[in-house]
């Protein structure tokens, strides 16, 4: 009998991807919306106003307020709306790397659970006279986090309209729409909206996003599907490049200050020497800060790489263990008459997955339902039928059989039963 009759052995595939569970069609649909933007633009204010949740902390000073990603849920229009408050980049208390790591941890975890964002509300103060470095950096980070695929679900939203002359606000809004700042994003599908500071205005924005098909962010795809480390993602690369440039800038500044200080020493200009020494101390502090952040990013990368290698090693061990595993069926779980009747079809019984055939303890673990299939082969049937009952138990079943379990195929090759404890077992080995 040719072994080509048997189902093929399944080749080991790529590492299993985390399951993406579709949102449940329950009575309560969940709409998840992230609220992002520079510190102080009004992210927490928006969430507090729209959700009515009094616990949301709104800043009252110059310092950054929201320190970590925080979800807030409330009911609206028959759905559970979850607004995600996020810390901004260029935060006064946390480094960009810490903020990015926090956002990535939240988004990756939720992506693995199948929770995708229906939208992102990206806030910007209409009162801002011009785009400072912080706003530009934030926007660049946002573009990398979001990616072009999710732009249709993005509302670029201006805030604090009550603090600006309406005509001036409109002029700035027009510049935002057509200028370099938001023009590119608008042309690729993002919408420009206004938040007028009221619950009604905020809910209007939410209503627009409720219609959307939830989408994965670029960072979620890169970290979960592509298994990238933080620094390998587009957003992580951007921060790393910024830090390298910043370190270089501070280093050059320090070198120039030293040259000037040497000159002051030569010219015996004590006052200048003192000023330059103070400048050097400040520059050194900035350099150390940039270097520390670069190290933090490198440490995160090293820890993620270690985790990735460990996961790969565990997967490989698991694969090898499964390769060696056999399925054991107790002789008592095979009714000879039923078995003979089913010789040309299939036979339902119970089996155990055994990783170490020499370990008797494995043979007493709980059994689970299995089906022994027979390939239709008249001669094979005859061959088995003519055997005595004892022969069937001793030699296993007809050799033209298989059990499918967990994507693999197992076959009893007629090698006889094994005795473990007081029982005999028929062994199906992986093919
Ligand atoms: N008038 C007006 N004030 C606003 C609006 N949005 C925010 N503010 C004020 O702006 C300040 C900052 O608001 P927050 O909501 O704390 O800003 P944030 O973006 O959460 O800031 P971080 O948590 O530091 O990132 C607060 O004093 C708010 O009261 C708005 O639409 N209109
Ligand atoms: Mg906040």
Strands (E), 201-265: none
| pLDDT recorded at residue 394 | 52
What's the gap in Å between 99 CA and the centre of ligand 2? 13
Nearest to 410 by CA among 3, 7, 2: 7
29-226: CATH superfamily: P-loop containing nucleotide triphosphate hydrolases (3.40.50.300)
Q: Please state the atom number of ligand 1 nearest to the C-alpha of residue 195.
A: 31
42 lines ligand 1 (CB under 6 A): yes
Q: What is the pLDDT of residue 164?
A: 95
pLDDT of residue 274: 92
How much distance in Å is there from the Cα of 4 to the middle of ligand 1? 70
Distance of CA 117 to CAs 23, 32, 83, 107, 306, Å?
11, 5, 10, 9, 30
Task: Say how far apart CA 22 and CA 267 lie, in whole Å.
Answer: 74
The residue with tokens 């939720």 is 110
CA of 410 to the centre of ligand 1 (A): 64
Q: Half-sphere exposure (CA, 13 Å, Cβ side) for 249?
A: 9
Q: Which ligand is nearest to the CA of 59?
A: 1
Q: Is 202 in the pocket of ligand 1 (CB under 6 A)?
A: no
Instruction: Yes or no: say if 409 and 10 are a contact pair by the CB < 8 Å rule.
Output: yes
Query: What letters, b where the CB count within 10 A reaches 16 and e where it falls short, cover 49-88?
Result: bbbeeeebeeeeeeebbbeebbebeeebeebebbbbbbbb
Report CA(60)–ligand 1 centroid distance (Å).
8
Cα–Cα dist 421/416, whole Å? 16
- Closest by Cα among 413, 431, 428, 417 to 1: 413
Q: Edge to edge, what strands does the sheet with 29-37 contain? A: 70-76, 79-85, 29-37, 119-125, 154-159, 191-194
Between CA 161 and CA 186 the distance in angstroms is: 21
Ligand 2 centre and the CA of 117: distance in Å?
Answer: 19
67 pocket-lining for ligand 1 (C-beta < 6 Å): no
Nearest CA to ligand 1 atom 24: 64
Specify the pairing of strand 191-194 against strand 326-330: unpaired
- The rounded Å distance from CA 56 to ligand 2 centre is 8
Residue 344: predicted pLDDT: 64
Q: Where are the domains of the chain?
A: 29-226, 236-322, 326-430
Q: Is the distance from the beta carbon of residue 45 to the nearest atom of ligand 1 less than 6 Å?
A: yes
The helix (H) or strand (E) run that includes residue 240 is helix 234-266
The rounded distance, in Å, linking the Cα atoms of 59 and 37 is 14
Tens digit of pLDDT at every position of the chain (431 positions): 333 333 333 333 333 333 434 444 444 689 999 999 998 899 999 999 999 999 999 987 667 778 889 999 999 999 999 999 999 887 677 888 999 999 999 999 999 999 999 999 999 999 998 888 888 888 999 999 999 989 999 999 999 999 999 999 999 999 999 988 899 999 999 999 999 999 999 999 999 999 899 999 999 999 999 999 999 999 999 999 999 999 999 999 999 999 999 999 999 999 999 999 999 999 999 999 999 999 999 999 999 999 999 999 999 999 898 888 999 999 888 776 666 666 667 888 999 999 999 999 999 999 999 998 876 555 544 444 444 444 554 544 555 678 899 888 898 876 768 899 999 898 889 88
Query: For residue 399, what pLDDT is reported?
Result: 53
- CB distance 61 to ligand 1 below 6 Å: no
2: left (phi over 0), alpha (psi -120 to 50) or beta: beta
Cα 228 to the chain's mean position, in Å? 10
Q: Is 39 within 8 Å of 91 (Cβ atoms)? A: yes
Tokens of 13: 């595939």
- Residues 325 and 430 sit within 8 Å (Cβ to Cβ): yes
100, 236 Cβ separation under 8 angstroms:
yes
Residue located nearest, by CA, to atom 5 of ligand 1: 160
Query: Residue 78: left (phi > 0), alpha (psi -120 to 50), or beta?
Result: left
CA 63 to chain centre: 30
Question: Which atom of ligand 1 lies closest to the CA of 159?
Answer: 31
Measure 66 CA to ligand 1 centroid, in angstroms.
11
Q: Are 210 and 79 in contact (CB under 8 A)?
A: yes
User: 280: Cβ below 6 Å to ligand 1?
Assistant: no
For a pocket test of ligand 1, which of 56, 58, 84 has the largest count of ligand atoms closer than 8 A to its C-beta? 58
Nearest ligand to the C-alpha atom of residue 126 = 1
Which ligand 1 atom minimizes the distance to the CA of 87?
25
59 in contact with ligand 1, CB cutoff 6 A? yes
Ligand number with the minimum distance to the CA of 92:
1
Longest Cα separation, the chain = 113
Length of the chain: 431
One DSSP character per residue, 60-78 reads -SSS----S-EEEEEEETT
Q: pLDDT at position 184, please?
A: 92
pLDDT for the residue numbered 308: 92
Distance from Cα 27 to the centre of ligand 2, integer Å: 31
51 C-alpha vs ligand 1 centroid, how far in Å? Answer: 15
């Amino acid at each position: 009998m040719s072994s080509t009759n048997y189902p093929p052995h399944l080749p080991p595939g790529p590492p299993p991807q985390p399951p993406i569970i579709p949102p449940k069609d329950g009575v309560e649909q969940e709409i998840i919306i992230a609220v992002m933007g520079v510190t102080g633009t009004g992210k927490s204010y928006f969430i507090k106003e729209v959700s009515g949740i009094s616990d949301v902390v709104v800043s009252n000073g110059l310092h950054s307020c929201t320190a970590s990603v925080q979800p807030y849920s409330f009911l609206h229009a028959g759905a559970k709306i979850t607004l995600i408050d996020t810390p901004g980049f260029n935060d006064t208390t946390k480094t960009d790397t810490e903020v990015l790591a926090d956002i990535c941890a939240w988004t990756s975890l939720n992506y693995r659970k199948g929770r995708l964002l229906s939208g992102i509300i990206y806030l910007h103060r209409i009162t801002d006279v011009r785009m400072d470095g912080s706003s530009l950096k934030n926007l660049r980070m946002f573009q990398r986090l979001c990616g072009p695929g999710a732009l249709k679900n993005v509302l670029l939203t201006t805030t604090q309209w009550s603090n600006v002359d309406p005509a001036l606000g409109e002029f700035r809004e027009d510049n935002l729409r057509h200028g370099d700042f938001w023009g590119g994003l608008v042309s690729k599908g993002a919408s420009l909206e206004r938040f007028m500071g009221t619950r009604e205005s905020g809910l209007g924005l939410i209503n627009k996003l409720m219609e959307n098909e939830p989408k994965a962010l670029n960072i979620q795809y890169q970290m979960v599907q592509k298994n990238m480390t933080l620094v390998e993602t587009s957003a992580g690369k951007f921060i790393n490049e910024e830090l390298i440039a910043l370190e270089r800038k501070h280093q050059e500044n320090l070198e120039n200050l030293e040259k000037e200080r040497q000159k002051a020493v030569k010219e015996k200009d004590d006052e200048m020497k003192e000023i330059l020494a103070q400048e050097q101390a400040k520059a050194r502090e900035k350099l150390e800060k940039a270097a520390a952040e670069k190290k933090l990013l490198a440490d995160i990368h090293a820890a993620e790489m270690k985790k990735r290698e460990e996961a790969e090693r565990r997967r490989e061990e698991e694969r090898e263990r499964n390769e060696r595993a056999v399925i054991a069926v107790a002789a008592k779980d095979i009714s000879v008459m039923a078995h003979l009747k089913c010789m040309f079809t299939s036979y339902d019984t119970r089996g155990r997955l055994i990783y170490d055939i020499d370990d008797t303890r494995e043979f007493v673990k709980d059994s689970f339902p299995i089906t022994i299939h027979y390939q239709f082969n008249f001669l094979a049937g005859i061959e088995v039928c003519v055997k005595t009952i004892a022969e069937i138990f001793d030699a296993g079943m007809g050799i033209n059989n298989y059990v499918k379990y967990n994507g693999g195929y197992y076959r009893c090759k007629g090698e006889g039963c094994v005795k473990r404890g007081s029982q005999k077992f028929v062994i199906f080995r992986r093919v």
